A and B are shown apart, each in its own frame.
Chain A
């Protein structure tokens, strides 16, 4: 078999195949409050990822025996649309979906004041419409905005971003190609103001130096995303602020 010429994902000048620098995020677009029925909702485009997040609650739990006596039960469903990837994905939840639903939910536990609403549930629904690597992080970024949009009290927004190793270099925000061909992927979720890491996973291989470097780079990415999230929340209300000030003058 003739050996295929391996095309590098990152070139000698440290430019990635999609033109990004090593520590550059993909373009991110965030929108808040875009679904009619959900109590809170948000939409994210990060590179080719297109993800919707909707939040319902706090509300009475069904089935009732799932109610927790001292706090609200957070529930999360991460789900990929069958057409979101190259080869059609079965709509039944895969083992990956179930694991991601769990770790995403746990990424929000430190953020939500669940103790304010015992015996209720807060349901987070995530629909990945198109996937191109890093969907769990983009989902968290969007779902955090949906929680804020629902008026649920939060300690901080949760921002998420992955770092990893591709062609021997530590890079930020891997897309699908980089994730598949790279040596390591380390998704991380972070509450910037409280300096708390709420999701951390990794697969691949990293030396201790690379590991530390990757974590720091991912945190940097989270901080950038945090600013975008704040802007997105404010964009929806910036008009409100201006006119309410006018209103105050009138009074």
Chain B
């Protein structure tokens, strides 16, 4: 990550503005940056989406594979989420195996999808205990300007919604691929909403500058019926309980707004 020392001047200016209910880029405390979603951007992937949240840009590609189920859930397909903070996205990203930030990003996005049961994994079972579909979700960060979690979760959901699973038949225990596709069975729409705590106030969708001065961060993932399905506090500071309950209220509103951008009914 960038130099841990942030200019005091910048810190003060941002804190002063926030205590007035304003932000450097003139957003309100609970406003998201403009979100743009493109789907089907990678033809070779079974599903894909590219999300721009302000200057933050994440590409998600979904591949469908065949494999064995986990022994404790033999009748369910497998979901795996991986994140790459590729070096072209920021001068602070370095090549190499995923660091703790990438792993946390992937696991928080994974938790939202898994816990809301967004994918009907039982429908991805081919032969119980032997063959199931594996859904590989790869989060590819292309430009880093803060709030990777929300952008990635949004892109992952958009990509899942346009993911196709190939048709198949089982002949003598062998899975054979047939022409044609079906949609991936999706039954929930988790949306991640991230708050930064700056000067003891909460702001949603922190940009990079705000992330650099924030004390700490909280991500709440909200599913379609407004239940909380994943939480992650991240960063050095702390929250008071009132702040968390307040965040939960705001998160429900924001999740509903963002969901409309992805789920077209």
Contact = CB atoms under 8 A, between A and B. Distances in A.
A and B touch in the complex (CB under 8 A): yes
Contact of A215 (B106, B223, B235, B241): B241
B233 A102 contact: no
A99 B230 CA distance: 15
Contacts of B5: 69-70
A202 B228 contact: yes
A96 B106 CA distance: 11
Given A95-B107, A99-B100, A102-B100, A205 B227 contact: yes
A196 B215 CA distance: 13
Contacts, number: 97
B115 A203 contact: yes
A191 interface: yes
Interface in B211-265: 216, 218, 223, 226-241, 244-245, 248-249, 252
A202 B229 CA distance: 7
B114 A203 contact: yes
Contacts of B76: none
A245 interface: no
A57 B237 CA distance: 21
A207 B233 contact: no
B228 A109 contact: no
Contacts of A82: none
Interface string A194-220: 111111111111111001100110010
Given A70-B5, A110-B236, A203-B230, A208 B100 contact: no
A188 B233 CA distance: 10
Contacts of B106: 95
Q: How large is the interface on B (under 10, 10 to 19, 20 to 34, 35 or more residues)?
A: 35 or more
B103 interface: yes
B100 A205 contact: no
Contact of A101 (B100, B216, B235, B244): B100
B4 A68 contact: yes
Interface string A88-108: 000000011011011100100
Contacts of A98: 100, 103
B239 A205 contact: no
Interface string B100-118: 1001101100010011100
- Most A C-beta atoms less than 10 A away, residue of B100, B231, B234, B248: B231
Judged by DSSP, the binding face of A is mixed
A203 B238 contact: no
B68 to A, nearest CB: 15
Contacts of A101: 100
| Main SS class of interface, B | mixed
Contacts of B232: 103, 200-201
A220 B235 CA distance: 24
B226 A204 contact: no
A88 to B, nearest CB: 14
B241 A103 contact: no
| Residue of A69, A194, A200, A208 contacting most chain B CB atoms (<10 Å) | A200
Contact of B227 (A106, A200, A207): A207
A179 to B, nearest CB: 13
A212 B252 CA distance: 14
A30 B226 CA distance: 40
A204 B248 contact: no
A25 interface: no
A200 B230 contact: no
Interface string A126-148: 00000000000000000000000
Contacts of A206: 227-229
B78 to A, nearest CB: 15
Nearest to A196: B238
Contact of B237 (A69, A110, A195): A110
Contact of B103 (A69, A95, A196, A200): A95
Given A194-B238, A203-B111, 5 more contacts: A103-B232, A197-B240, A203-B230, A206-B228, A216-B241
The 4 closest A-B pairs by CB, nearest first: A196-B238, A109-B236, A202-B231, A200-B233
16 contacts: A69-B5, A99-B103, A99-B104, A103-B104, A103-B234, A106-B216, A106-B236, A109-B237, A194-B238, A200-B232, A200-B239, A200-B244, A203-B111, A203-B230, A204-B229, A205-B228
